[in-house]
Amino acid sequence: MKQNCMTLSRTNGEKDFEQYIEELKKETKTEAYKEFQNFIKDKKPRPSSKNLCIEAYESILTAERLEERKQLNGMRFKEFEKNRPPADKWYELKSKDFSKELYRNRVALKPNNSNEVYLEILQDPYLY
């Protein structure tokens, strides 16, 4: 208590940071004790620990599935860009992109429209 009086005299009657922390600790301890007592006295059925574990794992798996879908769609987009048909009037290009568009043209000319079928499969939004 002597320390509190010294602190008050040093800060001109205002509480310092340490005093605020001590008061918050006391309030938190009191509130936590009351909540614990209410929890113990409560006679309602409690949630099953197994169900809570299952829900936690399901939420983790859902997050992992979303991340996996995001990565797979990124890879699918790269594959689509690699195999897409050439741009309009690609044969008039005078830049270094001409060779890329020439490659795309060769891929687009595969027999039996196999590249077009492959691109349709890649564009399916329900693929993953």
Q: How far is CA 28 from CA 19, 25, 31, 32, 35, in A?
A: 14, 5, 5, 6, 10
pLDDT at 60: 97
Domain span at residue 92 reads: 67-128
Q: Which residues of 15-33 are buried (b: 16+ CB within 10 A; e: fewer)?
A: eeeeeeeeeeeeeeeeeee
Number of structural domains the chain divides into? 1
Whether 104 is in a domain gets the answer: yes
36 in any annotated domain: no
Q: What pLDDT score was predicted for residue 61?
A: 97
Q: Which single residue is written with the structure tokens 């620990």? A: 49
Residue 50 lies in a domain: no
Q: What is the mean pLDDT of each run of 10 residues along the chain (128 residues)?
A: 54 74 93 92 86 95 94 87 75 76 74 74 73
Distance from C-alpha of 2 to C-alpha of 5, rounded to nearest angstrom? 5
CA atoms within 13 A on the CB side of 83: 18
CA distance 6 to 18: 13
**What local confidence, expressed as pLDDT, does residue 53 receive?**
95
Helix H or strand E encompassing 14: none
Predicted pLDDT of residue 51? 93
Q: What is the rounded distance in angstroms from the CA atom of residue 76 to the CA atom of residue 68?
A: 12
Q: What is the pTM of this model?
A: 0.48
* pLDDT confidence of residue 7: 55
pLDDT of res. 13: 62
